[in-house]
Structure 1
Amino acid sequence: MGIDKDSLKEILLECKMLGFSDKQIAHLLKKDEMEIRELRKELNILPVYKMVDTCAAEFEAKTPYFYSCYEQLFYEEQNESIPSKKEKVIILGSGPIRIGQGVEFDYSTVHAVWALKEMGIEAIIINNNPETVSTDYDTSDKLYFEPLTFEEVMNVIENENRDGNLLGIIVQFGGQTAINLAMELYRKTDVKILGTSPESIHLAEDREEFSKFLKRLGIPQPEGATVYNEKEAIEVARRIGYPVLVRPSYVLGGRAMEIVYSEEGLRDYIREAVKVSPEHPILIDKFLEDAIEVDVDAVCDGEDVFIGGIMEHIEEAGVHSGDSACVLPPQNLSEDIIKKIVKYTVKISKGLGVIGLINIQFAIKDDTVYVLEANPRASRTIPYVSKSIGIPLAKIATRVIMGEKLRSMGYVGFVRSKYVSVKEAVFPFQKLPGVDPVLGPEMKSTGEAIGIDVDFGKAYYKAQLSANMKLPISGTVFISLKDKDKKYAPHIARKFKELGFNIAATRGTAEVIRREGIEVKVVKKISEGSTANILQLIQKREIDLIINTASGGKAKSEGYYIRRAAVEFNIPYITTIRGALSAIEAIKSVKDGSIGVYSLDEIECSIEKIEVEEDRE
C-alpha cells in the first residue's frame, strides 16, 4: 500500500476505533473486504468484548451481555468475553427491524435457545434489537449485542471458536436479515451453517432458479420474471398482462411492493424502486385478482415433513401476509385443495432439502393452487401457529437442525386443529396522522392478536376485539365500494339488514343495493356537499361500522378521508370484501350465543398421516 507496516497498523487501528467497518475501509482503499480483514488480523487489530455493566459500577456485573470495541492495549488482557469449553451454537437474530416483525422472529429465536439448553448445548445469540426478549440478559447463555453484518458475526465466531467447540450457526430464526448472511458466510469462510444448506436457501431466494425448480416438480406459479431495467419491466408486463405485482428482490415486510395497473404506473414504480434496492433486480409477477392466499408453516428433516398449519388469509391475495387476518384451520378450501397444498408442501420441502422450518405462500384461483414463494426459515406466523395447535414448532425445528428426526419425536404428518384460531393484525394508524389505513402489499402492522373459539365467527370477533376493533352488534353500517366490488354490495347489505342494522351508502353503491329491493339511505360524498355528508355523519357518530374498498392503484382521496375519519373517531372500518363477510359471520355468531373463554393449555389437535401419491406424468 506504499506505507510501512507500523504506520499502516496505526492507521487501521485509528479507523477501527472511529467506527469504520472493514467494508468501508476496503471501499476507501479500493481493496476487497476480505483482504482488509486478513490484513487487520495479521496486524493483530482485533475487537475486544466488554460486558455491559448492568449494576452501574456499584457491584460487579455478571450478565453475559457483550459489545465490541477496539482497544490500543493487548487483546487478551482487555477481552471480557472468555469462551467456555462447552459445545455451543450461535443463533443470528433479526436485527433492528420493524417491531411488528421483530417480535415474531424473536419468539422463534427464544424457543430455539430453550431447545438448545434442554439439549445441554450452550446457546449464544447475536442480535442488536433492544426491544426483543432474545436480547434480555437472562435469555441466552451469552448475548453479543452486535450489528448483523459479515464482519461482526465473523468476529464473534472467531472469538467463540478458539477451542474448536462451536458446532455451527443457525440462520433460520432471524428472518431475511439472518438469511441474507448465509451465502456470504458460506462463500467466504468455512463456518458451518446448521440446518438447511446455504445452497438450498439460495435456490429458494433466487427467482429464476426457484422457477425452474417448481417447473421440474410440476407445480404451478404465477407468470413473472426478474428484470434489471425499465425496458425489460415494460416488456414483461405487456407479455403477462396487467395488473402486475412488483417488488425489489431480497426485501422484508413487502417494502416497496406494489400492485401496478398500468404502464404509466409501472414506469413511475421502476424509477422509485431502483432507489430502494439498487444492487438487486426487480421482480414482476402476474397479480391474481380475487385469489385466496394461503400460508403454510412446516418442519422438514430431509426425509419427513410435519405441517403445523394451513392458514387461509381472510383478505384476498395482494394484502401483505403480515397485515392480513388469517384463520386456522381453513374455512373455505375444499379437501381436494387442502390435499394439493399438502402435496406441494411435501414436494417443495423435500426437493429443497429443508432441515428445519419452511414457510410456503400459495394463491388459489379457479381451483388451481399456485406457489407464490417459499422461505426456508421461520416466518412471522410461527408464534400464531404454535399457540393455535399447542405444539412449539421452533423448538421442534431446532432439534431437527441439531440432528434429531421428526419420526423419533412423533411429529410426522399434517395437524388438524380442534379449535378455530383467527390471527388479526394490529395497526398504529391512530398514532400516525395522515397515513391511509387501506391494506396493500406493503406491511403496515406493528403487532397481532389471536382469537380462539369453537367456530369461526366467535374466533374472528375475539380477534377483532383484541386488535382494538370492536365490531358493533347493532346500529348503522355505511357501505362505499369501488366499481369492481359493487356486485357484492347487495349481499353484504342484505346480511347486515337480517342482523338488524340500518344501511347507508354513497349514491353509486346505494343504487346497486336498491335494485335488489333492499332499503338503504343515500349519504352524500364529501365532494357532494358540506351538509349531511359522510364525514359529518362520522363526526356526529351516526355511523357504527364503515365498509370502504379503495380503487385500484392509488387510493382515491374521497375514500382516504373516510378511512382517516374512521381511525380518528375510533369507528370500526373494513377495507376488503372478505373482511366484510367475515365481520357479518362474527356479529351473527355473537348475537346467537356468548363467546367462550379458553386457555392455551386446553388447545387440542390431531396429527394425520400425509399420503402423497407419486406423479405419473
Structure 2
Amino acid sequence: MLGSGALKIGEAGEFDYSGSQAIKALKEEGITTILVNPNIATIQTSENLADEVYFLPVNVEFVERVIEREKPDGLLLSFGGQTALNCGVELDQEGILERHGVQVLGTPLETIRTTEDRHLFAEVLRSIDLDTPRSFACEDLENALIAAEEISYPVMVRAAYALGGKGSGIARDRQELTALASTALANTPQILVEEYLEGWKEIEYEVVRDSQDNCITVCNMENIDALGIHTGESIVVAPSQTLSDHDYHHLRSISIRLIRHLGVVGECNVQFALHPTSDEYRIIEVNARLSRSSALASKATGYPLAFVAAKLALGYCLVDVPNSITRVTASCFEPALDYCVIKMPRWDLKKFRRVSNLLGSEMKSVGEVMSIGRSFPEALQKACRMLGVGAHGLVSSRKHFEEGELEQLLSVPTEERIFAIGEAFKHNWSVEKIHQLTHITSWFLARVRETVQCQLQIEQFGLDELSPDLFRRAKELGFSDNQISRSVRRSDPIPPGYGASLEVRDRRESLGIRPVVKQIDTLAAEYPAQTNFLYLTYNGTESDVTPEEQSPVVVLGGGAYRIGSSVEFDWCAVNAVQSLARAGHRTVMINYNPETVSTDYDSCDRLYFEELSLERVLDIVELERAQGVVISVGGQIPNQLAVPLG
C-alpha cells in the first residue's frame, strides 16, 4: 500500500485515517501488508498495524526497489491520495508492475487515467450523453488562449493530475489566463479550459461500487458557497439542504450510471454543478480514490468507507461486508441521516506576509472541523467556534466590520465572509441583496438571519430577565453559554475569565435546560443503532445513551489541523486511548477533526464529535460521570482548559 507522504495542503490526515482503516481490513483477512510512507507522525506507520513499513519517498525509484525486495501480489493506490495515484500510473507506464507481476487492486489503472486526464474524462462523459462544461484540453499557452476565445470569458482553468486544485483558477480576461496557464503548465503537462458556471450550486456524491456492479451512494453534500471555490475551501453541509427530491435522485442516478461506466471498484467522489433555478447540471470531476470529502462522508454518516473500499478491492461484494459500525446491517445499506453535519475549513493565511486571502479554486486551507446538530444553525454556530479563530459563534455582540466594508467582504470570498454575512443582517440588509453579492442560496442566508435575530433579542435583556423560552431557543440555535454571556445587557463590562460563562451555565441549569446525547445513527432509527459516534444537542428531549457503570477517562483531542498543531497530536491522542484501554479503563474521546484516526469508530469506547470548550467538556464529564480528563496529548487547544477544569 502506498501512503501519501508528508502532510501538505490537499493531502493531510485523511489519508492516515483511510490507510489505517485499509490496513485493518487487510489484517482481518490474514493478508501480509507492506506500507510505503515516510511520514513518521502517522498512526498507519505505527508498529502494530502494517507488517512492514518502509519510510521511503512515494516515488517510482523507491517503490520499484520495495517491489523487487518484497515481491508483492497486489498494489493499493486509492488510500494515499494524489501522490499514490500518480506514482501508480508512472509504475505502470514504465512497465514495472507488469515486469514484477503486481496487480493493482480496486479501481483499474485505466479508470484512474480516464478520471485524471481532463480530455479523456470529457470525452467519456460526452460518449454516454452526460453533461459536462464546454471545454478544451490544452498542453500549451497558445492553445489555451485560443480555447478561451472560443468559449468566451470568464473561463475556469483546471490542471490535470493535480493536488488540491493546484494551478486552477478563474480567468476573466486574456491577461489573467496567461498568468494562470503559465503557472499551471509549469507543474502539469495538461490543463483544461472550460466555461465558468458562475452562481451554480456545487453538489457532491460519495459513491461505492463492487466488482459485481452493486452500487450505492453513501452521502450527498452541498457546498454553501457557489461554484468557483474549491470544495476544500468551502463550507459544506451533509445531507444537502436545498435540493428538491427530483434533483437529489436525478444526480444520484447520474452518479451511479457514471461510476458503473467507468468501472470504479471501491469508493469515489463525484462533483456536480447544478443550476440554481432549473435541473440543468454539469459533471465537474470524479476522484477515483479516497479523499478529504470521503473522510467527512464516512464520519458524517457512520459508514466505514475506507474499510469497505479495502474489502471490495479484495473482490468482496457489498452484501458480503458487514457494516462494522452499526453491527446489524451489510455495507449495501445506504445511510440515512436525521441530523445535520457541517464541514468548515481552517486557514492560517495570517501567518504569512504578502499572501492573498482570496478564496478560489485552488486550496489554501490547512485543516477543517466537523460539527453536528439537529438543525443547520446549531451545527453552523458550533463549527464557527471549533475553528479556534476567536469566534464565539456565527454572531457576536461586538462590531467586527464597518458597514462600508461589507459589500466588498460579501462579493469577494475570503475566510471572513461567513461572519460578514451575519454583520450585514445586523445592518438590516435583505436576503436578496446578500444573495446577489455572494450567490449563496437564499435558504442558507435565511437561517443566518434567524440566528442574528435571536441574538438581537437576547441583547434586550439581562441574564436574569431572559425568559426560559428565549433561553432554550438560543441554545437550539447553537448559542454557547459564553456567547450568551457576551450578548445579554450589562451595566458593567464583562470581566475576564470564565466567570460570566459559568453564571450563564448556572442560570441555564436552574431552568432545566440541558443538552441531550444523540448517536450518529447511520440508519435514522430504522434499526436499533449500535454506534459509539455521539454528539450533544438542545434539539431533543431524551438521550440515546446512558452512563456505563464503570466511570471512563476522557481524552481531549487536538481539534483542527493548523500550522504548528497537526497529525502528531492525533498520534498522541490515539496512543493515549490505547494505553488507557490496555490498563483496563473505559475511554471517551472528544474531538471534531474528521481527518483523524482518533475520530474513527474503533479508537475508543465512546467518541463525541464536539467542541473542545469548557462548557462542552463539563457537559460530557457530567453526563459520563468521568473519573478524570487527559488534556496533555492534544496540543495547545486542550492545554488551555487546564486551569478552568482544575
Alignment partners' CA distance in 2, 1:142 and 1:108: 18
Structure possessing the higher radius of gyration over alpha carbons: 1
- 1:150-208 CA-to-partner distances (Å, cap 9, x unmatched) read 121121122112xxxx3301001111111112233234032210111111111222222
Partner AA of 2:292 in structure 1: R
* 1:134 to 1:267, Cα distance in 2 relative to 1, 3 A: same
- 1:566-605 CA-to-partner distances (Å, cap 9, x unmatched) read xxxxxxxxx8856866643555678733148676854333
What is the deviation of 1:369? 1.9
Alignment partners' CA distance in 2, 1:493 and 1:128: 39
What is the deviation of 1:210? 1.5
Alignment partners' CA distance in 1, 2:80 and 2:452: 38
Moved more, 469-478 or 591-600: 591-600
Q: How does 1:176-575 map to 2 (within 5 A)?
A: 176-187=82-93, 188=95, 189-190=97-98, 191-277=102-188, 280-302=189-211, 303-365=213-275, 366-409=278-321, 410-412=330-332, 414-468=334-388, 469=391, 470-476=393-399, 478-479=402-403, 480-482=406-408, 485=411, 501-502=426-427
Q: Is the 8 A contact 1:292 1:316 kept in 2?
A: yes
Equivalenced residue count is 443
Moved more, 285-294 or 402-411: 402-411
Alignment partners' CA distance in 2, 1:131 and 1:586: 40
Aligned to 2:335, the other structure's residue is in SS state strand
Higher strand residue share? 1
- 1:55-109 CA-to-partner distances (Å, cap 9, x unmatched) read xxxxxxxxxxxxxxxxxxxxxxxxxxxxxxxxxxxx1111224156221122111
Which residue of the partner structure matches residue 567 of structure 2? none
Aligned to 1:134, the other structure's residue is in SS state coil
Structure 1 length-normalised TM: 0.66
Q: What are the ranges of 5 or more consecutive residues in structure 1 without an aligned counterpart?
A: 1-90, 487-491, 504-512, 519-546, 551-574, 609-617
Q: Is the 8 A contact 2:166 2:184 kept in 1?
A: no
- 1:23-71 CA-to-partner distances (Å, cap 9, x unmatched) read xxxxxxxxxxxxxxxxxxxxxxxxxxxxxxxxxxxxxxxxxxxxxxxxx
Partner AA of 1:250 in structure 2: Y
What is the deviation of 1:324? 0.8
Q: What are the ranges of 5 or more consecutive residues in structure 2 without an aligned counterpart?
A: 322-329, 413-417, 456-469, 479-513, 527-646
What is the deviation of 1:350? 0.8
Aligned to 2:73, the other structure's residue is in SS state strand
* 1:313 to 1:548, Cα distance in 2 relative to 1, 3 A: closer
Which residue of the partner structure matches residue 159 of structure 1? 69
Aligned to 1:605, the other structure's residue is in SS state coil
Structure 2 length-normalised TM: 0.63
Q: Is the 8 A contact 1:298 1:358 kept in 2?
A: yes
Alignment partners' CA distance in 2, 1:304 and 1:282: 34
Partner AA of 2:106 in structure 1: G
What is the deviation of 1:362? 0.8
- 1:186-234 CA-to-partner distances (Å, cap 9, x unmatched) read 3403221011111111122222222121112221011111112222112
* 1:493 to 1:185, Cα distance in 2 relative to 1, 3 A: closer
- 1:405-428 CA-to-partner distances (Å, cap 9, x unmatched) read 012332335432111100111111
Q: Is the 8 A contact 2:209 2:260 kept in 1?
A: yes
Q: Is the 8 A contact 1:171 1:182 kept in 2?
A: yes
- 1:315-345 CA-to-partner distances (Å, cap 9, x unmatched) read 1111111111100010011111111111111
Q: Is the 8 A contact 1:362 1:373 kept in 2?
A: yes
Q: Is the 8 A contact 2:395 2:422 kept in 1?
A: no
Query: Pairwise CA RMSD of aligned residues?
Result: 3.2
What is the deviation of 1:307? 1.2
* 1:356 to 1:170, Cα distance in 2 relative to 1, 3 A: same
What is the deviation of 1:498? 11
Q: Is the 8 A contact 2:300 2:520 kept in 1?
A: no
- 1:513-557 CA-to-partner distances (Å, cap 9, x unmatched) read 69x9x9xxxxxxxxxxxxxxxxxxxxxxxxxxxx9999xxxxxxx
Matched, 1:114 2:4: no
What is the deviation of 1:130? 3.0
Partner AA of 1:288 in structure 2: L
Alignment partners' CA distance in 2, 1:323 and 1:430: 16
Aligned to 2:17, the other structure's residue is in SS state helix
* 1:111 to 1:597, Cα distance in 2 relative to 1, 3 A: farther
Partner AA of 2:303 in structure 1: I
Alignment partners' CA distance in 1, 2:196 and 2:394: 31
Alignment partners' CA distance in 2, 1:291 and 1:394: 30
Aligned to 1:101, the other structure's residue is in SS state coil
* 1:450 to 1:576, Cα distance in 2 relative to 1, 3 A: farther
Percent identical: 31
